[in-house]
Homo-oligomer: A and B are copies of this chain.
Amino acid sequence: MSSRAVEHARTDTGRSARKRQAIMEAATALFLRDGYRDTSMDQVAADAAVSKQTVYKQFADKEQLFRAIVLGVTGNSEAIITDMTAVLRSTEVASHEELRSILTDLARRYIDGVLQPHVLALRRLVIAEAERFPDLARTYFEQAPARAIEVVANVLRTYIERGLLAADDPRLAAAHFAYLVLAIPQDRAQFYPGERPSAAERDRLAGEAVRIFLAAYAAPGGGAR
């Protein structure tokens, strides 16, 4: 291909990707507002400001569109996990005080990630349609909450190895960490769409969750209590 043809193909790919993104965002909003059954591909096309033909070029039918949206959770999860764990790599943790500080930072990032409007919206959508699409609900659960907890478990294992934490079952400890941190604001957000805690409230929730976690899981003798 000539350089102009390459440039043209690139622009086409970019435009196509943008349209795909617009279709998925419009469809997510419609699925949430009207439910799966009442959302039509016509309406998706109109809300995304693309032709119906374009919608069908990207997605064979409504079910494929719904599946693509839910499977997009993998991207959300990776972004949240990358942000959460960014704080870990740069820091050596030698004392319980340093551990407390790292875990509090991790907790704050966890809350921020999970309370993003598009993350909450997808979660509510999957819960609403869990009986219609049990395989997608399972995939969502494995790729989102369970995947994040597995990453936290791996983080905790490194602190257990260094003698800073004590836990027979690191996966259960990670689930306790995750839900101590997240459950209060996340459960509330499920019933009050659009409401979010202030930064101060988020910091308080993160700090108290870490205090409780360390009271239960800090290895004796490191001074974290």
Residue A160 CB within 8 A of the other chain: no
Helix, strand, loop or mixed for chain A's interface?
helix
Chain A 127-149 against B: per-residue CB contact (8 Å), 1 yes, 0 no?
A: 11011101001101100010000
Residue A183 CB within 8 A of the other chain = yes
Closest to A37 in B: B38
Q: How far is the CA of A210 from the CA of B145 in the complex (A)?
A: 23
Interface size on A, residues (CB 8 A): 42
Q: Is A215 at the interface (CB under 8 A from chain B)?
A: yes
The answer to whether B188 and A141 touch across the interface, beta carbons within 8 angstroms, is yes
A211 contact from B134, B180, B216, Cβ within 8 A: B216
Cβ-based interface call for A176 (8 A) = yes
Residues of chain B contacted by A128 (CB below 8 angstroms) = 35, 124, 127-128
Contacts of A217 in B (CB 8 A): 212
B35 touches A193 (CB 8 A): no
Q: Given A212-B212, A212-B216, verify A127-B190 contact (CB < 8 Å).
A: yes
A-to-B contact residues, CB < 8 Å? 32-38, 124, 126-128, 130-132, 134, 137-138, 140-141, 145, 172, 175-176, 179-180, 182-184, 187-188, 190-193, 208-209, 211-213, 215-217
